[in-house]
Structure 1
Amino acid sequence: MKPTSFHEAKARSFTPLPVHIADELSRYDAYLHDVRGLAAGTRRNQIRVVGLFLRQNFERRAIDLRKLRPDNIRRFLASQLGAGGSSSYACQLASTLRSYLRYRTTCGDQVCKLSAVILNPVHWKLASLPRALKPEEVGRLLDAVAGVRRWPKRSYAIVRLALDMGLRSAEIAQLRISDVDWREGTVTLKGTKTLRQDVLPLPAETGQALADYLQHERPVSSHPAIFIRQVTGRDQPIAPRAIQRVIKRACCRIGLPHYSAHALRHTLACRLVENGSSLKEVADLLRHRSLNTTLIYAKLDTPMLAAVALPWPGSQS
């Protein structure tokens, strides 16, 4: 079978799915939600990958994993990574396929031979540095987003929530007016990625940006969401992807096209570490499930690293 090119795969992703594949993805999505407890964004990414996999192997026939061979798995991975995919994307593909095969075992399929050929690429833990904005870039970003023609106050409030509080796009989209305690200066996050309720301090500048948007730019609506949009005449919460687009466009506007919404979360963490906050404090603010997730920021603690660095051979020390 000839490997599918990137452009062919992209074109096929916009064509309607066969009914039998759509039904299978619906059942798998229910499993991810009900059994694994995964958030909507995570499920959406996994469904996309599994949809490509099923389409490549079962587009014109019933889904029967007994008819698959290890080479089918290898060909799918090769077709997705043939254009030079990153190691992180390769890890995502491997993890998603293993998750789907685990689901199929609950359906009674024997998939050990298929799972055995899914190997993670070499990906050294903590090998890369998180991409964060420099202080002068942060200033330019805030100036740029405050000067947009459409919804400037909304865009400014969104950027401040991500930059000052490290909120994820989905968390910003899900914020309700009742989640903000203006008297106590706190924000309550519900249904977050960690599946718990968190109460975070609301910085003064962030609160001012939110209040400015609510008082002067938010459409008059009884909807409880802070950031809303109109769809067929009805008010709905803004989608996480819209939050991402606001931040992405602002970064592009100041010449940082490769920065995303998550970079603002990294920027907050880096600023905290450089100002002397402990990794535990950073982990609590970012709501990491494990402290291991926060260890990447230890490499950005320049003063501490300098204090323990060994002298260069031949230098005076």
Structure 2
Amino acid sequence: MRDYAMVRCLVDLGLRVGEVVQIQLDDLNWRDGTLRIRRTKSRRMYVMPLPEATGCAIADYIRSARKATAVSRSAFVRHYAPVDTPLGTGRVHQAVHAAYVRAGLTNRTGSHPLRHSVARRLLRSGSSLKEVADILRHRSINTTAIYTKIDRRSLDAVALPWLGRTS
């Protein structure tokens, strides 16, 4: 349940692995349906909507599988002693790898393609590059511009025929 909730955060929200392991219980606002991301790569704080499926996965884990801790407010904690220790990024990478294997994608290993898939889904659904940049928390639109390379369907729709070629 923990691994599923962590992978949902990566796939649905486009979070980085380091951001997933930094989620605290207090960062989850169930009433407003939001998640606060405090420790980002850019050292800024963001509040983002929490999709229902992701929120349900996190809630199910916290209610049913999260070990009781005396001190730790981390949402994702170890299952074995010491349980008060938050997970490291390596455990999230292992969860992603295991999900790839279960899906038959044995040539996949990293979590970063999941961020790319979030960007691809957003672009295909009609989101602007600025909106994708905001969701992925990029400080520069130029960083997000690399995702335009993967949206071939949109590029084909606006491409003009090559001169001298018969259509």
Give the TM-score of the pair, scaled to structure 2.
0.91
Alpha-carbon distance in 2 for matches of 1:184, 1:167:
19
Partner in structure 2 of residue 28 of structure 1: none
Aligned partner of 2:102 among 253, 263, 268: 253
Secondary structure of the structure 2 residue equivalent to 1:226: coil
Match of 1:163 in 2: 11
Cross-structure match for 1:179 = 27
C-alpha separation between the residues in 1 aligned to 2:15 and 2:128?
19
Indicate the structure with greater helix content. 1
Indicate how the Cα distance of structure 1 residues 233 and 164 shifts in structure 2: closer, same or farther if over 3 A, else same.
closer
Distance 1:199 1:294 in 2: 19
Map 1:18-167; keep pairs closer than 5 Å: 153-167=1-15
Deviation at 1:230, TM superposition (A): 5.8
- Mapped to 1, the partners of 2:111 and 2:151 lie a distance apart of 22
Give the root-mean-square deviation of aligned CA atoms.
1.6
Using the TM superposition, give the Cα deviation of residue 254 of structure 1 relative to its aligned residue in structure 2, in angstroms.
2.2
Structure 1 partner of 2:137:
287
The residue aligned with 2:166 is 315
Q: Which amino acid aligns with 1:207?
A: G
1:220 and 2:71 are equivalent in the alignment: no
Partner of residue 91, structure 2:
242
Partner amino acid, structure 2, of 1:307: A
| 1:315 to partner: Cα distance | 2.0
CA distance 1:178–1:306, shift in 2 (3 Å): same
Deviation at 1:265, TM superposition (A): 1.1
Residue 198 of structure 1 aligns with which residue? 46
Question: Is the 1:274–1:302 contact (alpha carbons within 8 Å) kept by the matching residues of 2?
Answer: no
Deviation at 1:206, TM superposition (A): 0.3
Cα distance in 1 for partners of 2:66, 2:79 equals 12
Q: How many residues align?
A: 164
8 Å Cα contact 1:274/1:300 also seen in 2: no
Code of the aligned partner of 2:5: A
CA drift at 1:234: 5.1
Q: Check the 8 A contact 2:78/2:86 in 1, yes or no.
A: yes
Q: Distance in 2 between matches of 1:235 and 1:215?
A: 17
Tell me whether 1:299 sits opposite 2:122 in the alignment: no
Aligned mates of 2:37, 2:159 — CA distance in 1:
40
Superposed displacement of residue 231, structure 1: 6.7
- Tell me the distance in 2 between the aligned counterparts of 1:233 and 1:295: 43
Amino acid at match of 1:169: V
Stretches of structure 1 that go unaligned for 5 or more consecutive residues are: 1-152
Tell me the TM-score normalised to structure 1 length.
0.49
In 2, distance between residues paired with 1:234 and 1:213? 15
Does the 8 Å contact 1:179/1:187 carry over to 2?
A: yes
**Bigger RCO of structures 1 and 2 (CA < 8 A, at least 6 apart):** 2
Q: Helix, strand or coil: the match of 2:126? A: coil
Q: CA-to-partner distance for each residue in 1:148-192, whole Å, 9 max, x for gaps?
A: xxxxx1111011000000011111101100000000011111121
Check whether the contact 2:67–2:83 (CA below 8 A) recurs between aligned residues: no
Question: Shift in Å at residue 199 of structure 1?
Answer: 0.6
Rg bigger for which structure?
1
8 Å Cα contact 1:176-1:225 kept in structure 2: yes
AA matched with 2:117: T
